[in-house]
Amino acid sequence: MAEKKLEDLFYDTLKDIYYAERKILKALPKMAKAAKSAELKQAFEKHLEETEGHVERLQRVFEILGKRAQGKVCEAIEGIIAEGEEVAEEFKGTPALDAGLISSAQAVEHYEITRYGTLKRWASELGMNDAEKLLDETLSEEAKTDETLTRLAETGANERARAAA
């Protein structure tokens, strides 16, 4: 078996997040549809557009590597999305729905932030400056989405869920 290096780990993790982003593209319209608050719907729709850009940037990183863009099943995102679907179903029609959707979306964001942060660091260490810039751009958008979700939770969704008790 050939010795694995950081380049191999970078490529493997890139395939993981590529798969995850494509799964997220399918999940976001469902989350937007399920959301009760117009502001949360809008946040999910905005992030859907951003996620399309994330996929395009990842495809450019694959090009930088001279590799075909391909995903590798990401069990973590599968589980996070499945939990989000359970929350949407279990809390459908209740005041707690939006708080639950936000929580589920933030689990996705935190996973992505971790992956993009790691990939950015490795790209830097591997001297892949163009890839590092692309990954940093996505990392910044993921962090902003997480901040938006926190704001939506703190300025309404959590209170509506609590007040209904």
In a domain, residue 31? The reply is yes
Nearest to 85 by CA among 112, 104, 109: 104
In the chain, % of residues over pLDDT 90:
95
Domain of 56 in residue numbering reads as 6-163
In a domain, residue 121? The reply is yes
Residue type, 38: A
User: What CATH number does the domain containing 54 carry?
Assistant: 1.20.1260.10
What CA–CA distance (Å, rounded) separates 86 from 71?
25
pLDDT score of 163: 85
In a domain, residue 125? The reply is yes
In a domain, residue 38? The reply is yes
Tokens of 56: 């395009």
In a domain, residue 25? The reply is yes
In a domain, residue 59? The reply is yes
Contact (CB, 8 A) for 73 and 147: no
Q: Tell me: the pLDDT tens digits for 50-104?
A: 999 999 999 999 999 999 999 999 999 999 999 999 999 999 999 999 999 999 9
pLDDT score of 12: 97
pLDDT score of 58: 98
In a domain, residue 102? The reply is yes
> Total structural domains in the chain?
1
In a domain, residue 150? The reply is yes
Q: Tell me: the pLDDT tens digits for 114-134?
A: 999 999 999 999 999 999 999
In the chain, % of residues over pLDDT 70:
99
What CA–CA distance (Å, rounded) separates 155 from 149?
10
Q: What is the pTM of this model?
A: 0.94
pLDDT score of 2: 82
Residue type, 66: G
Residue type, 163: A
